[in-house]
Chain A
Amino acid sequence: MAEEMRIVLRNYGKIDPLKIDDYISLGGYNALKKACATDKTALIDDIKKSNLRGRGGAGFNCGMKWSFAAMAQADQKYVVCNADEGEPGTYKDRLIMENDPQTLLEGMAICAYAIGATKGYIYCRGEYPQVVKILNTAIAQAKEKGVLGDFDIEVRMGAGAYVCGEETALIESLEGNRGEPRYKPPYPPAQGLWQKPTIVNNVETFAAIPVIVEKGGEWFASIGAPSYPGTKVLTLTGDINNRTFFEVPTNTTIREVIYKLGGGIPSGKKFKAVQIGGTSGAFIPESQLDTPIAFDAMTAIDAALGSGAVFVLDETRDLVDVTTQIAKFFEHESCGKCAPCREGTMRMFDLMEKINDGEGSAQDVALLNKLGRVMSYSCLCGLGQAAPAPVLSTIKHFPADYNAKFA
């Protein structure tokens, strides 16, 4: 255990990302050929069999999602790649796009064939202009080679809003509107971009597709945790010796990630907490480190796998201070559409700041708890629902940090 297994990063370092021939020479686009020779229903069934679940954070069954769009009757359908990698501490999508852009295009093309789409968009984070160049070069080469058939892909840049990583906000942004989430249902596979059936998948999800098609769904399903099989790319940041990335099977535990792959905490300090999944992830204490980095296992401890960011904090860190900064981030990134998120993120930051400045009380903590609870099940989209997790988890697992603020 605790060894890397590269599926989505299989070509990392082995090819020149700007040369499609390198990709093809390693078997690239064979999966698309194979897919196109397969009956669409059988293809989607195989993706279902792989039990691949979305790598963007929501963990929805990919084959199931595709089948909804495939069943929908429409004159136009779309394939959209969510490459709006805005989660602080996360750069897994950038790794894939910078080092192996063709695998993303191939994954999207397979999806397009499966659901009957001819148009695709890659919605790329605005802060990744160099990635946009690589993608555009890759698309131009793929078009020149004719490997994508009648499937056309365009790259669109985001403008820096964190919320546009939410799939319906991303769609609104693609349509040229304010980046704000839509209420669901209807879900994008029924009514997405320009109200047409649309598949929105994360970069990492699409990157897994060619391998699954090549090796079969059963093969993929046998890797890692059965309910969330395959691998996950993790990006390690914070107080950890190996601040780098790893792709590991999903039955790897957090402890293995931190101590074996990550090399433990620097300077002989003790571990205090780890936040997994990005800014909206819960802070996990020592006692829960044997949890596997699989979707359901993380949910069971009130945490989330999210984007796969692993942010480690040593014993010297003040979690109230860290959480206050996070609350500020959400106050800034709330789109303002729904009331509990718009007003709640603002109040959450106010209360955290008050406590962090030594002016708070146990009553403020109780109010934070209630506010966080209400937001987590009342907000319109995932941003507002997840924003309280750092606050709620630090209050739960690290009460000493809060008590220390009440002089």
Chain B
Amino acid sequence: MVNVTIDGIKVSVPNGSTILQAAKEVGIKVPTLCYHPDQAVKANCRVCVCEVEGNRLLQAACSQPVFEGMVVKTKTPKVIEARKTILELILSHHPQDCLNCIRNGNCELQDLSAEYIIRDNPFELKVRGLEKDLSTPAIFRDPDKCVLCRRCIDACTVIQSVSALGVEKRGCESMVVPTMGGNLIDSPCVMCGQCVHACPVGAIGEIEDIDKLMAAIADPDTIVVTQIAPAVRLALGEEIGMATGDLPMEVFVAGLRHLGFDYVLHTNFTADLTILEEGNELLQRLTTGGTLPMFTSCSPGWINFCETYYPDLLDNLSTCKSPQQMFGSLVKTYWADKMNIEPQKVVSVSIMPCTAKKFEAARPEMNSSGYQDVDIVLTTREIGKLFRMSGLDFSRLEPSPFDSWMGAYTGAAVIFGATGGVMEAALRTVYEVVTKKELTDVNFTFARGFEGIKEAEIDLDGTKVKVAIAHTLSNARKLMDQVRAGESPYHFIEIMACPGGCIGGGGQPITKANVKRIERIGAIYDEDASLPLRKSHDNPEVKVLYDEFLHEPLGHKSHELLHTHYHAKNKKCL
């Protein structure tokens, strides 16, 4: 332990602590901009500088370790002048466009500007006038707004090992740009959207499809049908002033009806369906000598990553479409038929925790219903904005149930939203299919938690199956390199592109730290435990779907509507 004094307060902190950590310990907030709790220290914005007694230079609180007897002052006139001047410098090179910005009201630079009482900036406003990058259907870049904190680069390179972003040029001309030249769409970007969470300002964000939705709702000739992904509800409350997990599902549904959706259905339904298809695909591969290990295929950022960096392993990917896309192809065939609705009138909307889903829905092969299977993808953030605009008081909304035939779900579908959830859901079903015995304890706790890679050997009545789970693409890369080298011991691998799985997806409420993701994971397992049905094959509406329409997992209709194929992207990569 080291004894230090911060603004006159004595405190003892562990060796190797930074000034920032020590200040937090005594309840003093030091402002930061480039600092990110889940990333390596960068010390490049210099907003957190503090005075250390005996040192002429100010020290960055985020990088400077404390030493025995250190005396720190966090808000002397010298410090305040430095922070204010640095903020003025950054702000005078930043568009004064807050009112039109996607991050208006949720911007770290805006907050700092208010905290440091920036009024008459002595530096002349000088905006670079760089073009927006609107090349992908999922994520835009607005380089004029970039403050060069480089958190997006860290997220993309270290956490995701995608390396789609880097710094180009020098000095005041330096810019964060897609690597390998060109626009984001030309880069190895997988559209996971982790850069969006990392960005403190509005320099990277999701392509908003709110106007498309409003137009569909306003059109009297369309029937707007939506699906909600498992991870959305838990986090959506955060967008409308509630605690994580506190927005009840049926109040959420009621809110959507108020917005003008004609039918509200659930992606959880196709999550359960995915388990039946994917579980049977795994068993088929195990028994017929198919390509192993089999990888899950519900995370579109992961699919993009595999197509970009591991095109030689595409045969290992389950051919199952993601639950979003299974839903899309069924809503305009099975469901429309059952509801007696003309499929061409259906506008199929999905509400997703994900930015890559926007890209997935736009894939040319995703039209097995005869139409584009999913027409509009909205993120959790976008639906949050619509709810705020609607002026609804959620504490006074009458709960409303889901609509029929594609709205029922089990706890197994709910846990799709967390890393390990697909694996656990699959094991609940695969166990009973293989052993023909009832699974008395459905909790596969090894699969839970935030650890980067988890593994286990499951005994299916004598048949041993080795499984692994990874979240974030840097962890996925470790497992993939093993497979590529022919050294993978596993039969089945679950991969989620985002930290924590979909609850940490690129479309979720801006998430500044993994602790929030861990909180959401907790809420997901609470919901699973509270449900009467917790095995996908017990979903009554899925049973109806097989009885009346699909007939059997991996059958002819399934192949037509629920399975897909993958393409090597042949992109230049670092």
Interface residues of A (CB under 8 A from B): 161, 178, 183, 185, 331-340, 342-347, 350, 367, 370-371, 373-374, 377-380, 385
Q: Which residues of B contact A334 (CB under 8 A)?
A: 170-172
A342, B147: Cβ atoms closer than 8 Å: no
CA A379 to CA B171, docked complex, whole Å: 13
User: Which of B86, B90, B170 gathers the greatest number of chain A CB atoms within 10 Å?
Assistant: B170
| Nearest CB on A from B163, distance (A) | 13
Q: Could you list some 18 contacts between A and B, CB below 8 A?
A: A335-B170, A335-B171, A337-B148, A339-B90, A340-B46, A342-B148, A342-B172, A343-B86, A344-B89, A345-B171, A346-B172, A347-B92, A377-B58, A377-B82, A378-B57, A378-B58, A378-B82, A378-B85
| Nearest CB on B from A54, distance (A) | 18
Over the window 165-176 of chain B, the binary record of Cβ atoms lying under 8 Å from chain A Cβ atoms (1 yes, 0 no) is 001011111100
A338, B85: Cβ atoms closer than 8 Å: no
| Nearest CB on B from A221, distance (A) | 26
Instruction: Write the chain B residue with the least CB distance to A351.
Output: B123
CA A342 to CA B128, docked complex, whole Å: 14
Q: Which residues of B contact A339 (CB under 8 A)?
A: 44-47, 86, 89-90, 147-148
CA A255 to CA B46, docked complex, whole Å: 39
Over the window 141-179 of chain B, the binary record of Cβ atoms lying under 8 Å from chain A Cβ atoms (1 yes, 0 no) is 000000110000000000000000001011111100000
User: Which of B45, B85, B123 gathers the greatest number of chain A CB atoms within 10 Å?
Assistant: B85
Interface residues of B (CB under 8 A from A): 41-47, 49, 56-58, 60, 63-65, 78, 81-82, 85-86, 89-90, 92-93, 122-124, 126, 147-148, 167, 169-174
Q: Which residues of B contact A183 (CB under 8 A)?
A: 41-43, 60, 63
B171, A333: Cβ atoms closer than 8 Å: yes
B171, A340: Cβ atoms closer than 8 Å: no
Instruction: Write the chain A residue with the least CB distance to B47.
Output: A339
Q: Give the number of residue pairs across the A-B interface with Cβ within 8 Å.
A: 100
Q: Which residues of A contact B41 (CB under 8 A)?
A: 183
A380, B89: Cβ atoms closer than 8 Å: no
Can you list the 4 inter-chain pairs with the closest CB atoms, starting with the nearest?
A: A336-B174, A343-B89, A334-B171, A346-B172
B148, A332: Cβ atoms closer than 8 Å: no
User: Which of A334, A337, A344 gathers the greatest number of chain B CB atoms within 10 Å?
Assistant: A337
A370, B85: Cβ atoms closer than 8 Å: yes
Knowing A178-B167, A380-B46, say if A336 contacts B85 (CB, 8 Å): no
Given contacts A337-B174, A380-B43, 10 further A-B contacts (CB under 8 A): A334-B171, A336-B148, A337-B44, A339-B89, A339-B90, A342-B174, A346-B171, A373-B81, A374-B85, A378-B46
Q: Which residues of A contact B86 (CB under 8 A)?
A: 339-340, 343, 374, 378
User: Of A185, A374, A378, which contacts B65 at CB under 8 A?
Assistant: A185
| Nearest CB on A from B233, distance (A) | 39
Q: Which residues of B contact A370 (CB under 8 A)?
A: 81, 85
Q: Which residues of B contact A338 (CB under 8 A)?
A: 43-46
Instruction: Write the chain B residue with the least CB distance to A336.
Output: B174
Knowing A178-B167, A339-B148, say if A374 contacts B81 (CB, 8 Å): yes
CA A334 to CA B124, docked complex, whole Å: 20
CA A13 to CA B47, docked complex, whole Å: 52
B148, A347: Cβ atoms closer than 8 Å: no
CA A374 to CA B172, docked complex, whole Å: 17
B89, A385: Cβ atoms closer than 8 Å: no
CA A185 to CA B19, docked complex, whole Å: 13
Q: Which residues of B contact A373 (CB under 8 A)?
A: 81
CA A374 to CA B57, docked complex, whole Å: 10
A336, B45: Cβ atoms closer than 8 Å: no
CA A230 to CA B128, docked complex, whole Å: 50
Q: Which residues of B contact A377 (CB under 8 A)?
A: 49, 56-58, 78, 82
CA A379 to CA B57, docked complex, whole Å: 9
Q: Which residues of B contact A333 (CB under 8 A)?
A: 170-171
Knowing A350-B124, A367-B122, say if A340 contacts B89 (CB, 8 Å): yes
CA A337 to CA B171, docked complex, whole Å: 7
| Nearest CB on A from B199, distance (A) | 16
CA A62 to CA B83, docked complex, whole Å: 34
B172, A345: Cβ atoms closer than 8 Å: yes
A371, B85: Cβ atoms closer than 8 Å: yes
Knowing A374-B81, A377-B57, A377-B58, say if A347 contacts B170 (CB, 8 Å): no
A331, B171: Cβ atoms closer than 8 Å: yes
User: Of B57, B65, B92, B148, which contacts A385 at CB under 8 A?
Assistant: B57
Instruction: Write the chain A residue with the least CB distance to B45.
Output: A339
| Nearest CB on A from B345, distance (A) | 53
CA A375 to CA B148, docked complex, whole Å: 18
CA A222 to CA B18, docked complex, whole Å: 41
A336, B171: Cβ atoms closer than 8 Å: yes
Knowing A344-B89, A367-B122, A378-B49, say if A336 contacts B172 (CB, 8 Å): yes
CA A367 to CA B65, docked complex, whole Å: 32
User: Which of A332, A334, A340, A344 gathers the greatest number of chain B CB atoms within 10 Å?
Assistant: A340
Instruction: Write the chain A residue with the least CB distance to B150.
Output: A337
Instruction: Write the chain B residue with the least CB distance to A335.
Output: B170
| Nearest CB on A from B3, distance (A) | 19
Q: Which residues of A contact B126 (CB under 8 A)?
A: 350
Instruction: Write the chain B residue with the least CB distance to A349.
Output: B172
Q: Which residues of B contact A331 (CB under 8 A)?
A: 171-172
| Nearest CB on B from A166, distance (A) | 14
Knowing A339-B46, A340-B86, say if A347 contacts B123 (CB, 8 Å): yes
| Nearest CB on A from B170, distance (A) | 5
User: Of B43, B60, B170, which contacts A336 at CB under 8 A?
Assistant: B170
CA A332 to CA B124, docked complex, whole Å: 19
| Nearest CB on A from B261, distance (A) | 45
Q: Which residues of B contact A345 (CB under 8 A)?
A: 171-172
| Nearest CB on B from A26, distance (A) | 43
CA A253 to CA B95, docked complex, whole Å: 51
| Nearest CB on B from A78, distance (A) | 22
Knowing A350-B124, A378-B58, say if A336 contacts B89 (CB, 8 Å): no
CA A160 to CA B49, docked complex, whole Å: 31
User: Of A178, A332, A378, A380, which contacts B171 at CB under 8 A?
Assistant: A332
A340, B85: Cβ atoms closer than 8 Å: yes
CA A320 to CA B296, docked complex, whole Å: 66
Instruction: Write the chain B residue with the least CB distance to A347.
Output: B123
| Nearest CB on B from A354, distance (A) | 9
| Nearest CB on B from A332, distance (A) | 7
Q: Which residues of A contact B147 (CB under 8 A)?
A: 339
CA A373 to CA B85, docked complex, whole Å: 10
CA A346 to CA B169, docked complex, whole Å: 14
User: Of B46, B47, B90, B92, which contacts A379 at CB under 8 A?
Assistant: B46
Q: Which residues of B contact A347 (CB under 8 A)?
A: 89, 92, 123
| Nearest CB on A from B321, distance (A) | 41
